[in-house]
Structure 1
C-alpha cells in the first residue's frame, strides 16, 4: 500500500470517528442507549428483523428495556444532526453540480389503531391490487445522488408528513432548509452550477419552482403524459373588434404531435441499458393556472411559470415492460443539446433512491419496529439515517467479505449491504464514546392478576378535506343505518 493510500485511509478513519463523536453529541437524552443501538444496527449479521434481536448484539451492552426506553423517552437534537450531515463530503455530478432527489416513502402501519397521525399512503402491490392506499406514516426524504450506475446515495433529511399536509408546500420548505444548510456548510459557493432538484410525477414541479424562486436551484420534474402546456403570449395585434388581449399562447398537448411544432434541441444517445435514447426539447412552455386548489388564495394575477419540456424515448427497457415516452419539465429556458442530455440522464439517476429505500427497509429494518409514538418513529428514522451515513463514510475502508456464491466486486463498487457486512471489524478501531452501563435490576412491573385501568386511546386514520377541515363520515354511511336506494322517493 502506498503512502498516499495509507494517508487516505487514515483520513477516512478520522472522518468516520469525528462523525461518530458528533452524532453522540446530538443525543441529549439516553444517548448511550441510542448510540449503542445504532452500533448494533450496523454490526448485526444479516437483515434486521426485530428490535429485540439488536439487544442481543455484543455492541449493545444494555438490555431490551433500555433499548425501548431510549426510543420512547430519549431526546435527539435533530437540527444539529442535520447540520453535521450537511457538512460531510457529498457526491456531485461530473460538472461539479449537486443533484438532490426528493421522494416519499411510507412506513405502513395498517393495524396500529393506537398510533396517532397516520395518513393514507399510496403503495404499489402485485397482481390485481397494484395501487393501494394503506394507513401509515409517510416520510419525505431528500438525498444527494451520485453519477454512474450505483446504489449509493447520501441521505440529507427525513421529514414525517402529517395528515392533510400540502405536499408541495412541505417539500418546498424542506428543500429550502436543506439548500440553506448546504450553503452554510460550504457545499455551494457563488459562481458554482445551480443545485438540481429532481422530482417524480407526484410533485407539482412548476409550483415548487415558483415557491423556490430566489434560491440557486433548478427544478427537474416528471409530468403526466396527458398534460397540456401553453406557449408564450403572442405579440399583441390590433383587433378592430376589440376585446381582451390573450394571456397564453397556443396549446402544447402531450398526446397530440401535431401541436408540438419545431423542437428547441434534439439529441440521440446510445446507451447500454436502453439502446438508442432520443430526447426532444421545447422551450418556454408553461401550465395554465386557475384559481383553484393551491392557487385559491394567491394574491394578484396568477404567475406564468415558463420552462423547458423534454420528451425522452428509448429503444428498449431492461425489464421488458411497456415502452412509453417520459415527459420532463425543467425550470430553465434556452436549453442546449448538452443541457438536454445532462438533465434526462440526471433524472434517470433519481431511481437510485429506490435502492436506498430498499436498503433502509429490508436490510437496516427501518419499518420493522412496531412503535406506537410518532416521535419514537422519528428518532428511529434518524438513527437509521445516521447508520446509513456511517456506511457511506466507511465505504473507502471496507473489505469485501463476499459469500461463495457472490461475484467479486471492486472495493470502490461495493454495495451498502456488503460494506455493512464488514463494519464490525471497523467498529473496533473507531471512536466509541458511549459509557458502560451501570448495574441495575428490573422494576417490579404491574402486579400479577391486576388489570390495566388506563387503556390506550384509539386514533382514526387522518382524513383531511381540501379546505383543511377534518373528514366527517356522512350519517347514511355509518353503521346501523340503512342506505338510501337510488330512485327511492320520500314518503
Structure 2
C-alpha cells in the first residue's frame, strides 16, 4: 500500500517528511497485551504526563507549503521490545528506499540525540531535528599534533551557555508576515559526543520585538544533518511544517475516532489503525471533487482542510453508493449454551522497558561468565 502512496509523491518537487509518535491510552484495559508507559500531554493537573497504553510511530508526507494536510506513509505500533527511535529509523529507511528523490525529514526534540543521528547515517534522507536547550555539542577536533591518539572532539558548545558558543558562521534577520522579526544564527561542524563522525550544522532561531529584544524567552535550536543545506532563509521554515503531524494526530483521534474502540488484542488494534492512513488519503484525493458544506456558524473556504473535506464526504458517498447488501433479519440469538463454563480473560501486567533492558544486561553478564568458566 505504501508504494501506491509514494506514486502520488513523484509529481512533486522537494519531498518533506515528518516523523513522530503518539499514544493510544488504555489505562484500564488489564487484559490487553503489551501495554507500556507512554507520554501523554493530556494528564491530570499535578500528575506526571504519562499514561498506560500502546505507542504508534508515524511517518507522514507534507504535500503543501501551508495548511494542515499530512499524509501518513507508515503508521505502526511500537512493540514492547522496540523503542520510538528504533521504530522511526526502520520506518524512515523503508520509506526512503522507494522515494524518487532524497527527502528532507523533520523531527521533534525526542529524536535530537546521538543514537538517532548514528542509526540514520546510512539512510538517504536529510534530517532537520529540534534540540533541547540543555544539550552539549562539540566542535571539530584540532589538527593532529603527531603524538598520542588524535582527538575526536574540539571545543565544547553548550546550548544554554552563550560563553561557549563562539562566533556564528552566518547570521540572518528577516521580517516574517506571521512571526514578525526573526533572527537566525548558524554554526557549522558540530557533533554529539557519541556521534563524532556525524557532523551537523546548528541553527538558533529567535523571535525579536521592534527593539531587538527577545519576544519569546526560549529560542528554537535546530540541527541539520545530511547533504547540502538549503539557504538559511528557507531551512528554518521547513521545521514549522512539522506541526502538521500534530494536527493529523488530533484529527484522527477526534474526527476519525481512532481511540474510541475498546479492542481486545494488539492485532485488532493494528488492523483498526491501518484504516486511519487509508481514510486520510481518501480525503486528500477527494478534496477537489467535494463541495464545501459549512455548518451555519462556519465560514466558506476555498482551500479545504481535512475536517471540511470529511464534513462534505456525505454527498460523495451518497452518489457512489455501497457494494454491501442490506442487513437481513436473523431472529433471536440462541444465547450462551446451557452447561458451558465461562472463563475469565487473562490479565497482563504493564511492560516496563527499563526492566527488560536490565534483564538483557543480566543475560549478557551470565553468558560472559559462562564463557569464562
The aligned length equals 354
CA distance in 2, matches of 1:323, 1:248: 30
In the other structure, the counterpart of 2:284 is 392
With over 3 angstroms needed to count, the CA separation of the structure-2 counterparts of 1:360 and 1:229, relative to structure 1, is: same
Displacement after TM superposition at 1:247 (Å): 1.9
Q: Does 1:88 align with 2:8?
A: yes
Q: Does 1:271 align with 2:176?
A: yes
The secondary structure found in structure 2 opposite 1:312 is strand
Structure 1 unaligned residues grouped into runs of 5+: 1-80, 290-301, 472-491
In the other structure, the counterpart of 2:218 is 324
2:247 aligned to which of 355, 365, 372: 355
Contact 2:43 2:49 in 1 (8 A): no
Q: What is the TM-score of this pair, normalised by structure 1?
A: 0.67
CA distance in 1, matches of 2:10, 2:113: 24
Displacement after TM superposition at 1:406 (Å): 1.0
Contact 1:199 1:205 in 2 (8 A): no
Q: Does 1:455 align with 2:344?
A: yes
Greater displacement, 130-139 / 347-356: 130-139
CA distance in 1, matches of 2:93, 2:107: 15
In the other structure, the counterpart of 2:313 is 423
1:26-59 Cα offsets, whole Å, 9 max, x none, are xxxxxxxxxxxxxxxxxxxxxxxxxxxxxxxxxx
With over 3 angstroms needed to count, the CA separation of the structure-2 counterparts of 1:249 and 1:327, relative to structure 1, is: same
2:143 aligned to which of 235, 255, 260: 235
Displacement after TM superposition at 1:452 (Å): 5.1
Q: CA RMSD in A?
A: 2.6
Contact 1:209 1:218 in 2 (8 A): no
The secondary structure found in structure 1 opposite 2:275 is helix
Q: Does 1:372 align with 2:268?
A: no
CA distance in 2, matches of 1:134, 1:91: 41
In the other structure, the counterpart of 1:477 is none
Q: Does 1:446 align with 2:336?
A: yes
Higher fraction of strand: 2
Displacement after TM superposition at 1:262 (Å): 1.9
CA distance in 2, matches of 1:402, 1:428: 18
In the other structure, the counterpart of 1:59 is none
Structure of greater relative contact order (alpha carbons < 8 Å, 6+ residues apart): 1
Displacement after TM superposition at 1:255 (Å): 1.2
CA distance in 2, matches of 1:462, 1:102: 24
CA distance in 2, matches of 1:343, 1:325: 16
Structure 2 unaligned residues grouped into runs of 5+: 210-214, 361-373
In the other structure, the counterpart of 1:167 is 84
Displacement after TM superposition at 1:104 (Å): 0.5
CA distance in 2, matches of 1:384, 1:99: 20
Give matches, 1:446-485, under 5 Å: 446-447=336-337, 453-465=342-354, 468=357
Q: Does 1:307 align with 2:212?
A: no
Q: Does 1:198 align with 2:106?
A: yes
